[in-house]
Amino acid sequence: MSEQLKNQLVDRFGRSISYLRLSVTDRCDFRCIYCMDEEMTFVPRSEVLSFEEMQCVAKAFVGLGVKKIRLTGGEPLVRANVVALSRTIANLEGLDELVMTTNGSQLPKLAVDLRNAGVKRLNISLDTLRAGRFKALTRTGSLARVLAGINAACEQGFEAIKLNCVILKGRNDDEILDLVEFALAKQIDISFIEEMPLGQVSSHNRAEAFMASADIRDVISKRYFLTRLRKDSFIEGPSKYFSINGFKSRIGFISPHSENFCADCNRVRVTAEGRLLLCLGNEDALDLKTILRSTNNSNEALQTAIIKAMNLKPERHYFDDASAPQIVRFMNATGG
Ligand code: SAM
Ligand code: SF4
């Protein structure tokens, strides 16, 4: 069956889905102000997919032509035995690459094991290089630990490491150049992500704190000449990448507000509780957990449902439209 079904993940707008972002958990050791509220209620453990169920989901998608899987969360590395899950998924026949997004706090102890398990690339979130500010932005995190995690990852020979930075006006916009220079010195990539309106946050006013990619680019361009990179195998998806002459690092901009990229969307998400989310900025979803638990993890039932769900994928998100309905789920529950 799966041979026949390969490459069937095409939506109503002709977009092929080749990329799955799989959330390992909605829990996290940080409480970043743009991602979560200070007081969070997490999904009860019985409602979170088991690793066996996650493997079934990954296998079903790879059987349908998905080439890249990203493990994310919440913080994927706070879930016990995530290395074993990574190894199983990395070994799925037909998958080109398993990658991960992490806050870096567990990398001092897990970077080696993740690399050995077959994780090819890492995105590590870092919004500031100042310890006090790091604590304020993450509410619970330690900058020293994350920097140690980045160093540990740099020693493991991952195919690429990229920093993810969310810039908020008045909070960390004075560190744009410092963050770029940190990445240049480490010879790793860096992407700036515009803050998205996922969940109600109490710590700041999102409209006031919003900083557009073009403004961030302007700050960098005052010191460095940025050359736009052409799309290639590395550059697929929503980022626009630039290089700086004489340096290996790529500088990326992900602009969900200011430069809508939905026409090129190639991805779907599965949350920790098994909801297949067809779009980051819409609530259209399919409950895969019920299918898994009612069919004894049937690959055929999953694949049939996933193909049908392609019809639910909306054309685009409306983060740039203040009158559009707001998304009530937080990023940690979305699978960032
Ligand atoms: N815990 C991991 C981490 O922080 O990298 C993985 C999950 S996190 C939800 C994935 C990415 O989403 C992070 O780079 C984070 O900065 C970003 N993020 C979280 N909330 C966001 C928001 N409201 N707008 C834009 N990016 C956000
Ligand atoms: Fe945790 Fe990542 Fe969200 Fe920060 S952005 S609270 S590290 S899930």
Pocket of ligand 2 from Cβ distances under 6 Å: 28, 30-32, 35-36, 73-75, 103, 125, 331-332
pLDDT grade for 266, boundaries at 50, 70 and 90: confident
Cβ of 180 closer than 6 Å to ligand 1, yes or no, is no
Distance 290 CA to ligand 1 centre (A): 27
pLDDT greater than 80 at residue 328: no
Please give the pLDDT value at position 6: 56
* Residue located nearest, by CA, to atom 12 of ligand 1: 336
Q: Which region, left, alpha or beta, applies to residue 9 given φ > 0 means left and ψ of -120 to 50 means alpha?
A: beta
Please give the pLDDT value at position 323: 47
Cβ of 255 closer than 6 Å to ligand 1, yes or no, is no
Torsional sign, CA 122, 128, 132, 138: negative
Please give the pLDDT value at position 1: 46
Greatest Cα-to-Cα distance within the chain, rounded to the nearest angstrom? 58
Its pTM stands at 0.93
**Total of domains in the chain:** 1
- Ligand 2 atom nearest 28 alpha carbon: 1
Q: What is the mean pLDDT of the chain?
A: 90
Pocket test for ligand 1, best of 78, 134, 164 (most atoms within 8 A of CB): 164
pLDDT greater than 70 at residue 108: yes
Q: What is the pLDDT averaged over residues 224-251?
A: 85
Q: How far apart are the first and last CA of the chain?
A: 31
CB 167 within 8 A of CB 211: yes
Residue 253's domain spans which residues?
3-334
Please give the pLDDT value at position 319: 61
pLDDT greater than 70 at residue 325: no
pLDDT greater than 70 at residue 207: yes
Distance 336 CA to ligand 1 centre (A): 5
Domain CATH code at residue 306: 3.20.20.70
Higher local confidence (pLDDT), 11 or 127 = 127
Cβ of 332 closer than 6 Å to ligand 1, yes or no, is yes
Q: Which two tokens stand for residue 211?
A: 């900083």
CB contact set of 222 (below 8 Å; sequence gap of 6+): none
Cβ of 73 closer than 6 Å to ligand 1, yes or no, is yes
List, for residues 148-188, the tens digit of each pLDDT value.
Answer: 999 999 999 999 999 999 999 999 999 999 999 999 999 99
Name which of 285, 289, 282, 280 is nearest 331 in CA terms: 280
Distance 325 CA to ligand 2 centre (A): 23
**C-alpha distances in Å from residue 250, one per residue of 63, 88, 234, 239, 240:** 32, 30, 10, 11, 10
pLDDT grade for 200, boundaries at 50, 70 and 90: confident
Name which of 104, 112, 115, 110 is nearest 73 in CA terms: 104
CB 207 within 8 A of CB 193: no
Q: What is the pLDDT averaged over residues 8-13?
A: 87
CB contact set of 274 (below 8 Å; sequence gap of 6+): 49, 53, 57, 287, 288, 289, 290, 292
Please give the pLDDT value at position 197: 79
Distance 235 CA to ligand 1 centre (A): 20
Give percent of the chain with pLDDT exceeding 90.
Answer: 73
Q: What is the pLDDT averaged over residues 220-239?
A: 81
Distance 19 CA to ligand 2 centre (A): 21
Q: What is the pLDDT averaged over residues 134-160?
A: 97
